[in-house]
Amino acid sequence: MRIYLIRHGETEWNTRHLLQGATDIPLNQNGVEVARITAEALKDVPFDVVFTSPLKRAYETAEIMRRDRDIPLIPDERLKEICFGVYEGLCCGKDGWNIPDPAFQNFFTDPAHYMPPEGGETIAELCVRATDFLTELIDDPEYRDKTVLVSGHGALVKGLLSSLLITDQADFWRGGVHKNCAVSIIDVEKGKARVTQENVIYYDKARSTNYLE
């Protein structure tokens, strides 16, 4: 099995450094275009199935990546982005920061001590559902010899990779936040998974908003 993980294309909230989380924001025009460039770069990959977060930005990216392939596109709630509760829509950019709790900065700089706001989700909770999805996929005999695309989000993709790459939550962001439409690859042989590519983009990096969500 080969699993391609992609973070969604850019959104307007990405460009404004607003926390998206579970808020359902669509791609902006640049997001659509970089997704199309990425889809063209991977046009010869023989995808058999696409799994996606049901949120618009990831679902739209998945549709663009599928192109004209006659393959299933399957939404899965476990692939949603981490939820930021009452802080969604607030700015975490250094020039416009308006999050009332200074300790929220731990999400970026000290994930081991991050405490979510009201209605939010912990990083550990994100990792549990992401790992549950990945384990189920790897163990499913239906996909044993398949090529799979998974379309998700910045923290969600790190959550999917966490069980393979990190042993301490303090290292959650090791390697940095993946760029919009960055592609990672997990190869599975005899039930054992290893990351063979991480955070690769196929478009001019000047078009990337280097931002978490």
CATH no. for 2-207: 3.40.50.1240
The predicted-structure confidence for 5-63, as pLDDT tens digits, reads as follows 999 999 999 999 999 999 999 999 999 999 999 999 999 999 999 999 999 999 999 99
Q: What is the pLDDT of residue 163?
A: 84
Q: What is the pTM of this model?
A: 0.95
- Using one digit for the tens of pLDDT, what is the confidence trace for 59-110? 999 999 999 999 999 999 999 999 999 999 999 998 899 999 999 999 999 9
Our answer to whether residue 8 is catalytic in this structure is yes
Stated length of the chain: 213
- Give buried/exposed letters for 62-96 (b at 16+ CB in 10 A, else e): bebbbeebebebebbebbbbbbbeebbebbbeeee
Tell whether the torsion through CA atoms of 82, 79, 157 and 202 is positive or negative. Answer: negative
Residue 162 has pLDDT above 60, yes or no: yes
Catalytic status, residue 153: no
Q: What integer pLDDT is reported at residue 210 of this predicted model?
A: 60
Q: Is 12 annotated as a binding residue?
A: yes
pLDDT of residue 191: 86
pLDDT exceeds 80 at position 145? yes
The overall average pLDDT reported for the chain is 95
Residue 10 labelled as part of a binding site: yes
Residue 9 labelled as part of a binding site: yes
Q: Is 8 annotated as a binding residue?
A: yes
- Is 14 part of any known ligand binding site? yes
Are residues 177 and 209 in contact, defined by beta-carbon separation less than 8 angstroms?
no
d(CA 53, CA 75): 6
57 is in an annotated binding site: yes
Q: Token pair for residue 150?
A: 């998974």
pLDDT confidence of 211, banded at 50, 70, 90? low
In angstroms, the CA 164 to CA 91 distance is 31
**pLDDT at residue 213 greater than cutoff 70:** no
- pLDDT tens for 166-189 read 878 999 999 889 999 999 999 999
Q: What is the pLDDT of residue 208?
A: 82
Marked catalytic residue, from 17, 60, 81, 121: 81
Among residues 8, 17, 153, 178, the one annotated as catalytic is: 8
- Mean pLDDT for 183-207 is 95
* 3-state SS assignment for residue 23: coil
